[in-house]
A and B are shown apart, each in its own frame.
Chain A
Amino acid sequence: MGGPKPTRVSNRIRELRADRELTQADIASRLGVTRQTIIAIEQGRYSPSLEMAFQIAHELKVPLDQVFQYRASQDQGDDAN
């Protein structure tokens, strides 16, 4: 079995949680999901639904695009550099 399957959506949940002193369990209980789901999202192993993405941003008190970033492709990222 290889490493985790990457998604093109990256996020700053861990960093934003740390700023607000929130644990994975805190966010999970506020959203009614398992802590494992929050871990999977933070590690890029699961892309949440749009609704959950908005809920996470709401709990972290920032706009959605400050939490999640979409990387269209590696080539486009390289072109930008």
Chain B
Amino acid sequence: MTDDEAHVPMTGEEKTAWVYGTVVLLTSGTYFAYMGTQLAQRPAEDIDWAIPMLITIGASIAGVIVGTIVSAIGGAVWTGIRGRFEEPDFTKDERDLAIKRLADRRSFAFLSLAMAGTLALAMLDVDTFWIGNWVFLAGTVGAIVEVTTKVRAYRRGV
């Protein structure tokens, strides 16, 4: 029986949000840093951005899967070492769903605004480099908005 004074671990959903945010920052950060160096060397229309972007998306998906597994195993091992083993709890309840709804709503509102920017770029007939990277940047910031909203709601309340 877990008493009230026992350590309170993060829920599985909060842990996943942290993993997702960390992976997105790492993979997208690397991608945009690479694109920055490319832009410094050649004009935007000569940069091959599609393959690096697809690799980044693939790395993000794989990173979230691996990160979630590693954090679950690592958390169990860590609590075991400290003598208070707790089975990973993957329960998803109404509070998790309320937090997810709030995060989805904010992320969607941001993405809707960003899509207006995409339309503007298309109307200005700019190179596909800028349109593709604008959409990717919007997706990255939308993901950060989602994760930040979730973590804040888990810590401060819904």
In A38-56, the 8 Å CB interface with B consists of 39-40, 44-49, 52
> Is the C-beta of A77 less than 8 angstroms from some C-beta in chain B?
no
Residues of A within 8 A of B158 (CB): 5, 45-47
Q: Tell me whether A10 is interfacial, beta carbon within 8 Å.
A: no
B93 to A, closest residue via Cβ = A33
- B-chain residues with CB within 8 Å of residue A35 when the two chains form the complex: 2, 8, 89
Chain A positions within 8 Å of B155 at CB level: 1, 4
Inter-subunit contact A33/B91 (CB<8 Å) = yes
- Do A48 and B94 form a contact, CB below 8 Å, given A1-B152, A24-B4, A25-B2? yes
Known: A33-B95, A34-B89, A49-B94. A26 touches B11 (CB 8 A): no
A-B contacts at CB below 8 angstroms, number: 66
With most chain A CB atoms within 10 A of its CB, the pick from B2, B91, B95 is B95
Chain B residues within 8 Å of A, Cβ to Cβ: 1-4, 6, 8, 10-11, 14, 89, 91, 93-96, 98, 152, 154-158
What are 13 A-B contacts defined by CB distance under 8 Å?
A5-B156, A23-B1, A23-B2, A23-B4, A25-B3, A26-B1, A35-B89, A36-B154, A37-B94, A37-B95, A47-B158, A48-B95, A52-B94
